Amino acid sequence: MLRNARRGIVVAACLALIATSAACSDDAPSTGGGGTAAAVPGVTDTEITLGTHMPLTGPAAAGYSKIAPASKAFFDYVNANGGVNGRKIKYLIEDDGYNPANTQTVVRKLVLEDKVFAILNGLGTPTHTGVLDFLKTQKVPDLFVASGSRSWNQPEKYPTTFGYQPDYTVEGKIIADYVKKNFPGKVVCHMGQDDDFGRDSLAGVEQVLGADGVKSKQKYVTSNTNITPQIQAFKAAGCQVVISATIPAFTALSLGTAAKLGGFRPQWIPSSVGADYTTLAGLLGDGKVLLEGLIAPGYLPVSTDAANPWIQLFQKVNKEYNGNAPFDGNVVFGMNVAYLTVQSLLKAGKDLTRESLIAAVESGGFKNAAVGPYRYSKTDHSGIGGMQMGKVTAGVQAAFGPVVQTDDAAGPVTEYTEAAAPPPANGIPTA
């Protein structure tokens, strides 16, 4: 944990410098399931206990540390309005520092000591991968993982695990389709985190552009904040468009490092994972000018879209139950995950069991702030399947163009035409 905290300090120090220059084994299974609340871990007649692992410290804390508090705020809002079938939601948040070893420790604590009903929205590809088998053995619902790895969509192997956001291959295809149509003939390159995040993203990009359509392919690890060699390789290759699978700190580092290398300014198109303007502007400080023209896809309404009814709802909840925290895409993410969770719990019924919750998510049909469709079924645990491009103009990040959808196989990228559903008048989900 301490080592990751130090890495976070190093990242912050690097960004400060950039901003200045830019301004110029398995345990026995639990007995989950069963007819009465008393027999179901984490469920009583008055309470439902959920737990999560999040990077409240460490290299991924920038932005992401705001997600779980936002989810808790929405749960508190629901609790204040009667809860879920008379039960209030208790949300336990454990800091893993984006360190896989820590993740295993805190998840085992949540399951074996705290007896949570489900794990919700655990964040990170390298972190959450290490607890899949444990959660499967314990038969714990593993809902809405905060990562786009395709690993979460293996219902035969991991029947209790569900993704949430568009997987990285879907996102890679959508970005590459946009690049193919809007930057024909440009030299395209790719920067990826050295795990499933980067690999799945590149796989999607290459499905559309071909392996030869990506001239330079670079990787980074979160433990090393010196990415100058990768950016120098992009400059030497003449990259004009750089698609990146980067967390916020490394999106900011990429832009800042490029600016220091003789004004190297390709068109950056980062993954939605590392593209929230408010987070990036905070990291870059005076160097936020580098964000002008940034293009990235999104699957939720932009946090600055004050006319969007979902943003209005989440801003209200943020003000009343989240200490009026700086409102950004991470807050929107956390609140929509909580909204989806309440929808799922309601659909699971009053006689709440782990099995009924899994069946409820697999039944699909969810409508909330997501711009694209949820793909949940018995054979698909992947989550949202559509996205919309966005661009930073004059310091404002706004969506543009159609919502498009695809799969992580050979399917085409097509327009999604179904209109978004507004929230209920009181903002409380219904069954």
Of the candidate CATH numbers 3.30.300.30, 3.40.720.10, 3.40.50.1980, 3.40.50.2300, the domain formed by 168-299+390-415 belongs to 3.40.50.2300
Q: Could you tell me the CA-to-CA distances from 377 to 149, 155, 170, 209, 421 in Å, in that order? A: 18, 9, 17, 30, 20
Q: pLDDT by residue (tens digit) across 93-112?
A: 999 999 999 999 999 999 99
Per CATH, the number for 37-167+304-388 is 3.40.50.2300
Phi, psi of 244 (to 5 degrees): -130, 135
| Strands of 88-95's sheet in order across | 88-95, 47-54, 118-120, 142-145, 161-163
Mean pLDDT of all residues in 265-275? 96
Residues of the chain with CATH 3.40.50.2300: 37-167+304-388, 168-299+390-415
- Residue 347 predicted with pLDDT over 90: yes
Mean pLDDT (whole number) for 277-290: 96
H or E stretch covering 90 = strand 88-95
Determine the Cα–Cα distance for residues 77 and 81; give it in Å rounded to an integer: 7
Give one DSSP letter per residue of 222-247, joined into a string. Answer: TT----HHHHHHHHHHT-SEEEEE--
Q: And the tokens for 145?
A: 């993982």
Whether 369 shows a pLDDT value over 90: the answer reads yes
- Greatest alpha-carbon pair distance for the chain in Å reads 67
CB contact at 8 A, 117 and 133: no
| Residue 26, pLDDT score | 40
pLDDT for the residue 39: 86
Contact 227, 274 (CB under 8 A): no
Q: CA–CA separation, 334 vs 165, rounded Å?
A: 12
Any idea what the Cα angle at residue 150 is, between residues 145 and 156, rounded to 5°? 90
Q: What is the Cα–Cα distance from 173 to 387, expressed in whole angstroms?
A: 11
What is the predicted pLDDT for the residue at 9? 36
CB 56 within 8 A of CB 69: no
Per-residue pLDDT of 20-59, as tens digits, reads 444 433 443 443 333 444 589 999 999 999 999 999 999 9
What is the average pLDDT across 153-159?
98
- Characterise 277 by phi-psi region: left (phi > 0), alpha (psi -120 to 50), beta (else): alpha
CB 329 within 8 A of CB 302: yes
CB 317 within 8 A of CB 338: no
CB 126 within 8 A of CB 144: no
| pTM score over 0.75 | yes
3 state DSSP class of 218? strand
CB-based contact 117:49 (threshold 8 Å): yes
What pLDDT shows up at residue 37? 46
Measured torsion, CA atoms of residues 249, 404, 295, 239, in degrees rounded to the nearest 10: 90
C-alpha to C-alpha distances, 345 to 12, 116, 354, 415, nearest whole angstrom: 39, 14, 10, 31
